[in-house]
Amino acid sequence: MVRRKQLSDTLTLISTPHFPYNTDRRNSGAHRALLGIGGNIGDTLRRFEHLFWVLQRSRLLEIIECSPILRNPPFGYTEQEDFYNALILVSTKLPPKALLRYILRIEKRFGRKRSFKDAPRTLDIDMIYYEGVRMETERLSLPHPGHLSRVSVQIPLGYMREKIENTGMR
């Protein structure tokens, strides 16, 4: 069942069977990472539910919590459909660069094509935080640049704030 709540003329909060999602399970010895997911091509809500099950079955990470989904206008290249965005808090034993390689493989599995900056996409997965790690490489910046100014991160994060603060990722 999908529920929608209009936040403003351009922002809609959406709940699906697994967005939001919470578990009390704790994977000791693992690091916590916050993943931002987005997309605007095809049936994005169905794709997010499929992604949830792919991640849920993964041996490389464990889902702790998912935010509700936010429908919001695109930024950068604005001549495209609205985006759907959500956050997924995971625990993993993968170091940041290995986690990045893993999420890039998942994007490709879901048909992600990189044509130009801010282009429409089937699925985008960004690493927003990785348990207090700060790094700046050619392929990975932690925390994710611009995360503080993007409604696509801040509004969903508002629905997860308590668990995020407890992980030391803020």
How confident is the model over 10-21, as pLDDT tens digits? 999 999 999 998
Report the mean per-residue pLDDT for the chain.
88
Looking from the CA of 100 toward its CB, the CA atoms found within 13 Å total 16
Reported as a pLDDT band with limits 50, 70 and 90, residue 167 is very low
3-class state of residue 127 by DSSP: strand
Q: Give the pLDDT band of residue 132 (cuts 50, 70, 90).
A: confident
Do strands 124-130 and 135-136 pair parallel, antiparallel, or not at all (unpaired)? Answer: unpaired
Task: Output the pTM of the full model.
Answer: 0.90
Q: What pLDDT shows up at residue 148?
A: 80
Tell me the torsion sign for CA atoms 7, 13, 15, 21. Answer: negative
35, 134 Cβ separation under 8 angstroms: no
Among candidate residues 48, 92, 51, 90, the one with its CA nearest the CA of residue 69:
48
What are the tokens at 44? 């994005």
Alpha helices in the chain (DSSP H): 44-56, 96-109, 151-158, 161-166
Q: For domain 3-166, which architecture applies?
A: 2-Layer Sandwich (3.30)
Q: Which residue has the higher pLDDT, 160 or 87?
A: 87
Distance CA 88, CA 12 (A): 18
Q: Are 52 and 37 in contact (CB under 8 A)?
A: no
